Amino acid sequence: MTEAHLLSPFLPRGARFLMLGSFPPKVERWSMNFYYPNWQNDMWRIFGLAFFGDRNFFADLEARKFREAQIKKFLSEKKIGVADSAKVVSRLKNNASDAHLHIVEPLDILEVLKKIPSCIAVAATGQKALETVLKSVNAVAPKLGEFAQFEAHGKSFRLFRMPSSSRAYPMPLEEKAAFYRRMFEMCGI
């Protein structure tokens, strides 16, 4: 059985940066109607630490939800787009694990980049996202926290490989946030 992505790419006007995950969990696991919606996923805690020194900056602890409007406003101000590298998937097991995710139809990353002409960099937020992106662009796989260059639409982009925000990825939250902080600093964000 296949499953289509329910969200359109979030592409704020003037986006200079594009973050690409793999695919969201099943809707019943969502705490908001936006990317990285699972309360157990640490992406918005990583952002809170990286930009504000507060892991709960984007969290409503009482409701156990992320603050969707606050996240979108912040991303728009910082000109950070967010999407997933897969449009249609098949879950080989009934969970959100990338290891059990078969990508039936990838996102057309080059088409998305056309829509954000100010973009200078793309970040793959995990191994599955990186593998999917590399099938669409001509780049070598960068080391964790580093970037490789690729060309598209007559310009050069940086492709960053970042640690997964999943708690299953064996790295402390603070260390993940340091990787992301460094990447955003390198991109002038």
H/E run at residue 157: strand 155-161
Q: How many CB atoms lie within 10 A of CB 87?
A: 16
Domains in the chain (CATH in brackets) are 2-186 (3.40.470.10)
pTM: predicted TM-score of the whole model, two decimal places = 0.93
Kindly report, residue by residue over 121-146, the tens digit of the pLDDT.
999 999 999 999 999 999 999 999 99
Kindly report, residue by residue over 3-48, the tens digit of the pLDDT.
898 999 999 999 999 999 988 888 898 999 999 999 999 999 999 9
Say if residue 25 is exposed, middle or buried (CB neighbours under 10 Å; 0-12, 13-18, 19+).
middle
